[in-house]
């Protein structure tokens, strides 16, 4: 199946090559030249892994043996065979995306990506080993390490800002086992780490570092179509659950509220709708970094504002890369997308034409939720629904409530839950009671005692696990660090 860049139809690749390349040569993102078709009713009858096989296979038909790859990716890695369970809270349905090996929604895609990459490498006859480089503000790093750990032909190196991630997140990364994983702290903030990674890519010729060991460089971030396709599955899974519970009949529409950062999660919902799933409104929930709220409400995307540090760090973002894919999918106009992205790069903002704004309005709704409101929401949902949610999910819940109140829309609402509350124990506990003067490990224990919600296995006993990766380097030394791997 043919993919091309969002910025030009002349940069094409088949689906296997698109997974290997990640980004198109002109800086655009790969989009399918025409969307695949799927027998939705048949797909909804299968297990979650059957759905994944059908859906990922439909998007990536040039990668063979999809059923085997899906089984390898997911079997035994999640808390439940259904991978992404739903919970009827009495108000909204919560779609729990955090039951994977690192308790973050990114596991759904990052368990699958290594299988897709290594198979694509075989199909395309690429001989060199792959070296994945990732800068992380916390969640992506651990999910990528767990996904790529001990995968043949691939090595992975994660950089995180020294002192810039939570204790739980640091412990998750520095205790990572595996013969092909490297973790390194960088003196500086997340932007320093990210810029360092970009500089390493810039120093490479044809993806290979001069003086390095001949690996082909690649990334695990959510611009890769191989990360997006696996996320479409859980929209189908949630819909199937509502059918089984008798909440809806086949064909009735369901709304989804999505805590959003890079726009990958919610874009997967739009792709599910394009495949024929009866999706109603897609509700884009942001935190105080409300660039997307402003964009969806006004049609102007403006990144010229400070980046705020919030209690939902995975949504602290000013440029949402996957939005570019939506602009193309709704307009079909690569020249327009190239021009808007050029303006964003040069001037820091752009405004979409009227017809594109109208197309966005038809599918999306947006709202934002600051830290104070997120804390209030965590407390309220726990009190009224006896459901404990994390800080990102709280934003999704709060904006879903705002949407329902403002529009009177009565279609069933699914709130996507993107992290375990135990990944952010300080913020979650402080929403329920005073949590001052405790370290994160004590806060986890207290949260469990207070709520009765068990700490996920992978987060238990982290503080006593052996630290395997303790290197800290100045940002100038990132390139030599990687060359020596």
Residue 261: CB minimum distance to ligand PLP, A? 3
By CB under 6 A, residue 418 contacts ligand PLP:
yes
Site string for ligand PLP, 212-231 (x = CB under 6 A): ----------x---------
What is the footprint of ligand PLP within residues 365-394 (CB under 6 A)? 392
- Bridge partners of 59? none
Upper half-sphere CA count for residue 8 (Cβ side, 13 Å): 9
Neighbour order of strands in the sheet with 413-417: 86-88, 93-96, 413-417, 254-259, 279-286, 364-368
By CB under 6 A, residue 103 contacts ligand PLP:
no
By CB under 6 A, residue 265 contacts ligand PLP:
yes
By CB under 6 A, residue 259 contacts ligand PLP:
yes
Q: How many binding residues for ligand PLP (CB under 6 A)?
A: 17
DSSP string, 289-329: --HHHHHHHHSEEE--SPPPP-S-GGG--S--TTHHHHHHH
Of positions 262, 286, 290, 404, contacts ligand PLP by CB under 6 A: 262
Query: 161 or 261: whose CB is closer to ligand PLP?
Result: 261
By CB under 6 A, residue 235 contacts ligand PLP:
no
The CA-atom distances, in angstroms, between 41 and each of 229, 240, 277 are 19, 10, 9
Using alpha carbons, select from 377, 361, 368, 364 the residue that is nearest to residue 285: 368
Residue 447: CB minimum distance to ligand PLP, A? 17
How far is CA 406 from its chain centroid?
Answer: 28
Pick the catalytic residue from 71, 77, 106, 274: 106
Decide if 213 contacts 128 (C-beta within 8 A).
no
DSSP 211: T
The CA-atom distances, in angstroms, between 253 and each of 51, 58, 247, 256 are 19, 22, 11, 10
Of positions 5, 86, 93, 260, contacts ligand PLP by CB under 6 A: 260
Beta strands 413-417 and 93-96, pairing class: parallel
DSSP 104: B
Query: 180 or 286: whose CB is closer to ligand PLP?
Result: 286
Decide if 117 contacts 152 (C-beta within 8 A).
no
By CB under 6 A, residue 96 contacts ligand PLP:
no
| Coil/strand/helix, residue 257 | strand
Of positions 113, 315, 399, 415, contacts ligand PLP by CB under 6 A: 315
| Coil/strand/helix, residue 334 | helix
Decide if 308 contacts 289 (C-beta within 8 A).
yes
DSSP string, 345-358: HHHSEEE--HHHHH
Residue pointed to by tokens 């009713």: 41
Using alpha carbons, select from 11, 40, 44 the residue that is nearest to residue 28: 11
Residue 236: CB minimum distance to ligand PLP, A? 17
By CB under 6 A, residue 264 contacts ligand PLP:
yes
What is the footprint of ligand PLP within residues 104-123 (CB under 6 A)? 104-106
By CB under 6 A, residue 419 contacts ligand PLP:
yes
Query: 16 or 317: whose CB is closer to ligand PLP?
Result: 317
Residue 410 tokens read as 């009565």
Query: 259 or 367: whose CB is closer to ligand PLP?
Result: 259
Name the one range near ligand PLP by CB under 6 A: 13-21, 23-31, 102-110, 178-186.
Answer: 102-110
Name the one range near ligand PLP by CB under 6 A: 100-108, 323-331, 367-375, 475-483.
Answer: 100-108
Query: 53 or 103: whose CB is closer to ligand PLP?
Result: 103
Site string for ligand PLP, 271-310 (x = CB under 6 A): ----------------------------------------
Indicate if 106 belongs to the active site. yes
DSSP 454: P
Count H helices and E strands in the chain, helices first: 20, 16
By CB under 6 A, residue 233 contacts ligand PLP:
no
Residue 262: CB minimum distance to ligand PLP, A? 3
Residue 286: CB minimum distance to ligand PLP, A? 9
Please tell me the distance from the alpha carbon of residue 324 to that of residue 476, in angstroms, as a whole number.
31
By CB under 6 A, residue 139 contacts ligand PLP:
yes
Residue 368: CB minimum distance to ligand PLP, A? 14
Write out the residues near ligand PLP by the rule CB under 6 A: 104-106, 139, 222, 259-265, 314-315, 392, 418-419
Residues labelled as active-site residues: 106
């Amino acid at each position: 199946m043919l993919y091309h860049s969002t910025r030009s139809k002349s940069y094409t690749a088949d689906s296997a090559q698109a997974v290997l390349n990640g980004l198109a040569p002109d800086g655009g993102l790969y989009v399918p030249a025409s969307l695949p078709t799927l027998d939705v009713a048949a797909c909804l009858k299968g297990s979650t892994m059957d759905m994944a096989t059908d859906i990922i296979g439909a998007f990536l038909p040039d990668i063979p043996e999809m059923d085997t790859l899906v089984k390898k990716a997911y079997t035994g890695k999640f808390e439940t065979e259904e991978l992404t369970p739903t919970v009827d809270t009495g108000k909204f349905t919560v779609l729990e995306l955090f039951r994977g090996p690192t308790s973050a929604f990114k596991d759904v895609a990052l368990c699958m990506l290594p299988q897709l990459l290594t198979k694509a490498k075989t199909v395309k006859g690429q001989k060199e080993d792959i070296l994945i480089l990732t800068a992380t503000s916390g969640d992506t790093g651990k999910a990528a390490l767990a996904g790529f750990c001990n995968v043949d032909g691939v090595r992975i190196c994660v950089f995180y800002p020294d002192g810039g991630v939570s204790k739980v997140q640091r412990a998750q990364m520095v205790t990572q086992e595996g013969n092909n994983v490297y973790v390194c702290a960088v003196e500086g903030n997340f932007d320093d780490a990210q810029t360092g990674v970009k500089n390493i890519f810039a120093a490479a010729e044809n993806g290979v570092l001069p003086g390095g060991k001949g690996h082909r460089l690649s990334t695990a971030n959510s611009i890769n179509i191989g990360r997006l396709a696996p996320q479409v599955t859980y929209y189908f899974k949630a819909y199937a659950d509502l059918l089984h519970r008798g909440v809806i009949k086949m064909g009735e529409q369901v709304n989804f509220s999505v805590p959003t950062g890079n726009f990958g999660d919610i874009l997967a919902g739009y792709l599910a709708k394009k495949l024929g799933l009866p999706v109603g409104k897609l509700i884009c929930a942001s935190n105080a970094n409300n660039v997307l709220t402003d964009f969806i409400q006004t049609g102007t995307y403006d990144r010229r504002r400070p980046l705020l540090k919030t209690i939902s760090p995975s949504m602290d973002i000013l440029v949402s890369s996957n939005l570019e894919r939506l602009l193309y999918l709704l307009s079909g106009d690569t020249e327009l997308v190239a021009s808007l992205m050029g303006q964003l790069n040069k001037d820091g903002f752009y405004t979409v034409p009227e017809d594109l704004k109208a197309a966005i309005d038809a599918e999306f709704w947006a709202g934002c939720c600051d830290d104070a409101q997120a804390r209030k929401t965590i407390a309220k949902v726990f009190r009224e629904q006896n459901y404990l949610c994390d800080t990102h999910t709280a934003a999704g819940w709060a904006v879903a409530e705002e949407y329902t109140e403002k529009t009177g829309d009565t279609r069933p609402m699914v709130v996507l839950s993107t992290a375990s509350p135990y990944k952010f124990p300080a913020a979650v506990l402080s929403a329920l009671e005073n949590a001052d003067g405790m370290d994160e490990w004590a806060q986890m224990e207290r949260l469990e005692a207070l709520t009765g919600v068990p700490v996920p296995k992978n987060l238990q006993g982290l503080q006593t696990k052996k630290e395997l990766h303790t290197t800290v380097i100045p940002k100038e030394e990132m390139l030599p660090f990687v060359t020596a791997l």
